[in-house]
Amino acid sequence: MNLDMDSASTNTEPLRWDRTAIPVDKETLLDLSTFWGMEPRLCQARLDEYRMSRMADEWRRVNPQTPVEIRKFYGETELYIWELVKWHADESYDIYRNRVAQAIQLFPPATHPRVLDFGAGIATASLEFARSGYEVTIADVPGRTLSFARHRFQRRGLSCSVVEVTNDAPALPREFDVVVSFDVLEHVPNAELMLMRLVRSLRVGGVALIVASFHDDGDHPQHLPSNIDRFRTLAWDWALVGAGLRFHPSGLLTRAPVNYSLPRRIRWFLHSRFPSLPWRFVYKREDRRKPGGQL
């Protein structure tokens, strides 16, 4: 398996899966049925009628502004469960499934046993790692979606550790072998700071599966404008390198040793504060990966 560089760090294509009825696998329907106390056919019917605009409308109605209000929104809404279930059943989610499968193939639990899924959502990626024999920790805002993720593990007889994210600087355990964060950092008040914390929780040589979507096509008002504005001019791939990661030949990311990452962190610090200067001449060729795989 291999992934192109466009999928290494950033997904910028708008999602249109919500316009169609998408059949969900039996196990996931049972997850919904046993969690909500609804018949599976009613769960499928609700998924068929769900539209992504409902989450956007709810966000605009509540209009959370502070980090506390944002965490409260994600903790209380039930819409996120339905939205993520429907999206994860669609072929547009294949790129994430392929990323997880590639990591499992290249970095098996025998050498990389400990996985952190930050912003785990409904734990689709986490479950794949757990089924493959990894020790999984899921981290997310306490509330309905995290409860549903726990329910999915329990119903399958799988175990996981849980970190409840209740502040802007969550205390994450150290020395994970794999760190996963799929479409999360665009939702947090300071994506760059959270990225640094995730990298610090990863051991040298560990693998990072990080995707961030810094755009809003009208359906994603919850992608914070501060993050979109910042990375409209600054290449997110360079931020990943500046945080201490390097690109593996497979296209995945690994935690770099200090002698590799320190000069790149210094360059990123300067670049992020003086983005108008011609930094592309300062970055080494292997660091100058832009979205789309262009150098």
48-80 pLDDT, tens per residue? 999 888 999 999 999 999 999 999 999 999 999
**Inside any domain, residue 79:** yes
User: Cα(227)–Cα(206) distance, rounded to whole angstroms?
Assistant: 26
Tokens of 17: 């899966």
Closest CA to 269 of 282, 258, 256, 257: 282
**Inside any domain, residue 92:** yes
Please, what is the average pLDDT of the chain? 86
**Which residue segment(s) compose the domain that 134 sits in?**
23-233
> What CATH number should be reported for the domain holding residue 227?
3.40.50.150
User: Cα(220)–Cα(79) distance, rounded to whole angstroms?
Assistant: 14
At 163 the three-state DSSP class reads: strand
Residue 279: what pLDDT? 56
**Inside any domain, residue 267:** no
**Inside any domain, residue 14:** no
Number of domains in the chain: 1
**Inside any domain, residue 271:** no
Q: Which amino acid is at 123?
A: A
253-279 pLDDT, tens per residue? 999 998 888 888 888 887 777 777 665
Q: Which amino acid is at 254?
A: T
Look up the pTM and report it. 0.87
**Inside any domain, residue 289:** no
